[in-house]
Amino acid sequence: MTEMDKHIRDSFARQTMMQTFGAEIAQVSEGNVVITAPILPGSRQQHGIAHAALTFAIGDTAAGYAALTKMPSDQEVLTGEIKINLLAPAKGDLLRATGKVIKAGRRLVVVTAEVHAISDGKETLVAILQGTMIPVPT
Amino acid sequence: MTEMDKHIRDSFARQTMMQTFGAEIAQVSEGNVVITAPILPGSRQQHGIAHAALTFAIGDTAAGYAALTKMPSDQEVLTGEIKINLLAPAKGDLLRATGKVIKAGRRLVVVTAEVHAISDGKETLVAILQGTMIPVPT
Amino acid sequence: MTEMDKHIRDSFARQTMMQTFGAEIAQVSEGNVVITAPILPGSRQQHGIAHAALTFAIGDTAAGYAALTKMPSDQEVLTGEIKINLLAPAKGDLLRATGKVIKAGRRLVVVTAEVHAISDGKETLVAILQGTMIPVPT
Amino acid sequence: MTEMDKHIRDSFARQTMMQTFGAEIAQVSEGNVVITAPILPGSRQQHGIAHAALTFAIGDTAAGYAALTKMPSDQEVLTGEIKINLLAPAKGDLLRATGKVIKAGRRLVVVTAEVHAISDGKETLVAILQGTMIPVPT
């Protein structure tokens, strides 16, 4: 495990929300982070599919950690703003969010994320996000 | 309880995500819905304050139900898109989201929401949201 | 004219885009700026109403100068990001954008704006904007 | 020229704002439209670079026509909402916006766009956009 990988996994492990959702970091590389989460019984909206807050949560978190891969190890990131467009119902076994850095500035990092729902091996793009992460000292 | 009130509370009760967060509907009136949620131990990010997903969840849900107050009772709403700007750390005892309808069209309902953190009776505006809800038949 | 007023009007006068649109600063107070623009023959989309870019331009600019009223006079602001929801066709004699500061931080200023179309004295809300302005040294 | 191409170019020619900006359609294919515009003397902000409204205008328009390539010929599209993140100063000879359809639904079309500034043959990504187009009968 690289130092960057460890930095991100340590931070992720302290996010109790991610544990509540059963979310896991699936992949870390420079500028890209993948997070997966099952659609737990307690993560649903009124029609039994994943609540938009779950889709948002892993999309935002994947984008935030993607930004963190570009920061020195004495920095953290906070979400400044982020927008989500929901494309299709998030139903299936699992959601997978892929966060990506578009532009890493000194003061702001612009990011995007895609969220797919995976059902019986079939993938559907269910949301796209576009936002700004703010580097802060740890 | 009015019929609108009942329609909204029934729908809310079926959202298991709201139960996971301990969220409650505090107020319903035409074009406005208020939702509160404690910052549970399982709803935090790596610094121990509320995860942005909690702030998002209740902001989005308050905005969505505000839209629903403008719909006939055989309609539901889905979030089409929504953007959140985070203004201050969401720390304290409780979060309170106030959703509001800006324009209710036949095909789309444009909404906003404000989220406050409440700590020892002091309120801080922690986020604003702006989005689009889509009416769908139940 | 106050110093703040002068600072803003000088900056505005250097924006050739505002002259192209025939836009004017109608009002400046701390945290609030109002800009108006006629719907010129050259500012239209394919149906003859105001192009979304005109609505965006004056909304974004009103929000940016609202942010500038909160800055020391050796600072300028740049738009970091902004989102517009269009609510109704922008038709009439004049558009009027009202920009407002929601939270002025040291590093970022969160703003909103409303744009109204004015036709025979009747006002219609045609767009709302929510965004982030970034202070930079002049 | 295909029928789709003609449909788009006819609509574009009726947008006087695009003429004001000197904008041109550079490319049309299913789900993708490219628009270019010079940075005219009348399209600038207070520092002499392209006004955010120009970047927005061609990004929004490229995204809108990309959506139109997915519609039957008796439909038009309106921008429902769109968000822009500005990444770098838009300076140079020319801006080029590339609009793309992410998901074409019957009621809504989700789109993105990238805007590059081109200076002496060097390209810089200056903005990304994410939004929703609404099909309407012509």
- Rounded Cα–Cα distance for residues A86 and A126 (Å): 6
Q: How many CB atoms lie within 10 A of CB B138?
A: 12
Q: Do C134 and A80 count as a contact with CB atoms less than 8 A apart? A: no
Which of D14, D16, D44 comes nearest C15 by C-beta?
A: D44
- Optimal mutation site among D83, D108, D136, interface B, most CBs of chain B within 10 A: D108
The letter for the amino acid at B7 is H
> Interface pTM (ipTM) of the complex?
0.96
Handedness of CA C64, C68, C73, C78 (dihedral sign): negative
pLDDT value at residue B99: 98
Look up residue D30 and give its DSSP letter.
T
The tens digit of pLDDT for each residue in D6-31 reads 989 999 999 999 999 999 999 999 99
Q: Taking the mean position of all CA atoms in its chain, how far away is CA D35?
A: 6
Sheet holding B94-104, edge to edge: A24-29, A32-38, A94-104, A109-119, A122-137, A75-86, B75-86, B122-137, B109-119, B94-104, B32-38, B24-29
Per-residue pLDDT tens for D108-128?
Answer: 999 999 999 999 989 999 999
H helices of chain C, in order, are 3-13, 16-20, 52-68
Closest CA of chain A from D79, distance in Å: 14
What does R_g of chain C's alpha carbons equal in angstroms? 14
What is the pLDDT at residue A3? 87
CA distances from C72 to C8, C65, C101, C102, C138 (A): 12, 13, 15, 18, 10
pLDDT over 70 percentage in chain A? 99
CA-nearest of C101, C109, C99, C103 to C136 is C109
pLDDT over threshold 80, residue B1: no
Map tokens 């200023």 to a residue: C109
Alpha-carbon distance of A107 to A128, in angstroms, equals: 24
- Please list the alpha-helical segments (H only) found in chain D: 3-13, 16-20, 52-68
d(CA C83, CA C52): 12
Distance CA B85, CA B62 (A): 16
CA distance D74 to A128: 29
Which of C78, C85, C108, C110 is the mutation pick for testing A, counting most A CBs within 10 A?
C108
For residue D128, give both structure tokens. Answer: 């990304």
The pLDDT of residue D15 is 95
Model confidence pLDDT, tens digit, residues D63-97:
999 999 999 888 899 999 999 999 999 999 999 99
> Distance from B86 to chain A by nearest Cα, in Å?
5
Cα of first residue to Cα of last residue in chain A, in angstroms, is 21
Q: Which residues of A touch B41 (CB under 8 A)?
A: 16
pLDDT at C1 over 80: no
The model's pLDDT over C19-46, given as tens digits with 9 standing for 90+, comes to: 999 999 999 999 999 999 999 999 999 8
DSSP string, C68-104: HTTS-TTEEEEEEEEEEEE-S---SSEEEEEEEEEEE
Give the pLDDT confidence of A28-44 residue by residue, as tens digits. Answer: 999 999 999 999 999 99
Residues of A in contact with D110 (CB under 8 A): 85, 87, 128
Whether D15 sits inside 8 A of C84 (CB atoms) is no
The reported pLDDT for the residue numbered A73 is: 83
Q: Say yes or no to pLDDT of B72 above 90.
A: no
